Amino acid sequence: MTDLVALKAANANRWAKAKLTRDFSSVAKRLAAPAAKARYQAVSAKTGVPWAFIAVAHERESSQDWAGSLAQGDPWNKVSTHVPAGRGPFKSWEEAAIDALVNCAPRAALNKDWSIGGTLTMLEQYNGLGYANKGIPSPYVWSGTDQYVKGKYVADGKFDPNAVDQQLGCAGLLLAMIALDPSISFDGDHAPAPPKPAPTVPPGKPASPSITNPSPGSLGDFIASVLSAIFKRKS
C-alpha cells in the first residue's frame, strides 16, 4: 500500500526543485484562457476542486477536448468504455466533469489537502499509483521537467522502463500557468479571505441630566453638593 504522506512530501520536494525541460507556454495559455477558466471555475464551484487541477487533468485526459470526459477522455455523450467504464451519457462536459470528480476514484472532490504536495499527489492518484509503487516520479505529473527521465505504462498493467512520456506533465503545466495567472495558489486555490474589521462601537451617549446626575454648574448640582456636605457631617 502506498504511503501517501511520504508521497506528498516527495512531490512537494520535487516541486521545489523542478525545472522545465520542454516548452509549456502555449498549452498553459490555452488552459488559462478566460473562456476555459470560466468553465473550470464553474465545475470548481460545484465540487470544491481547484480550477487549475481540473484544467491540467483535462489536458492530460483529452488534450483539453471539450467533447472528451474529464474521467478518461471518452465522449461524455456516450457510455464510457475506458476506466472508469460505464459512466454517462451526460448532458454536458461540465456534468461529466462533476461526476468524474465526485463519483470516480480517487474522488478528488473529497480531498481536503490542496497544498502543493497534496495537489500533485491527488493528480498522481487520478492516474494511478503504479509509478509511486516502483519508486519513480509519475510522468503524468512530472513529464517535461527534470524530475522525470523515462519509464511509462504503455498499456494497462504493462510498464516499459525505457519508454518516455511525450505528453506534458501536470506539474510543469501548473508552473507555467502560475506564471500567467498568479491568482493560482495551493492553500485551497484562493488567497485567504482578508480578516473582517472589528465592528465599530459608537461612543455611548452621555446620560441625560437628572436628579441623581445633575449638569455641572446647575442649580441641581449646587443643591446636590449642599446635601452631600450635610450628610457627611451627620455621618
CA angle 155, 159, 160 (to 5 degrees): 105
140-176 per-position pLDDT tens digit: 999 999 999 999 999 888 999 999 999 999 999 999 9
Is 202 a residue whose pLDDT tops 70?
A: no
31-87 per-position pLDDT tens digit: 999 999 999 999 999 999 999 999 999 999 999 999 999 999 999 999 999 999 999
Rounded Cα distance between 185 and 49, Å, is 12
The answer to whether 167 and 56 have CB atoms below 8 angstroms apart is: no
Query: Comparing 7-16, 19-28, 189-198, which segment has the lowest mean pLDDT?
Result: 189-198
Is 119 a residue whose pLDDT tops 70?
A: yes
20-42 per-position pLDDT tens digit: 999 999 999 999 999 999 999 99
The answer to whether 141 and 124 have CB atoms below 8 angstroms apart is: yes
What is the reported pLDDT for 155?
A: 87
Is 209 a residue whose pLDDT tops 90?
A: no
What is the reported pLDDT for 230?
A: 58
Rounded Cα distance between 235 and 231, Å, is 6
What is the reported pLDDT for 187?
A: 73
Is 123 a residue whose pLDDT tops 90?
A: yes
Categorize the per-residue pLDDT at 199 as very low, low, confident or very high, splitting at 50, 70 and 90: very low
What is the reported pLDDT for 228?
A: 59
Percentage above 90 pLDDT, the chain:
76
Instruction: Give the DSSP per-residue string, 144-163.
Output: TBTT--S-EEEETTEEETT-
Is 215 a residue whose pLDDT tops 80?
A: no
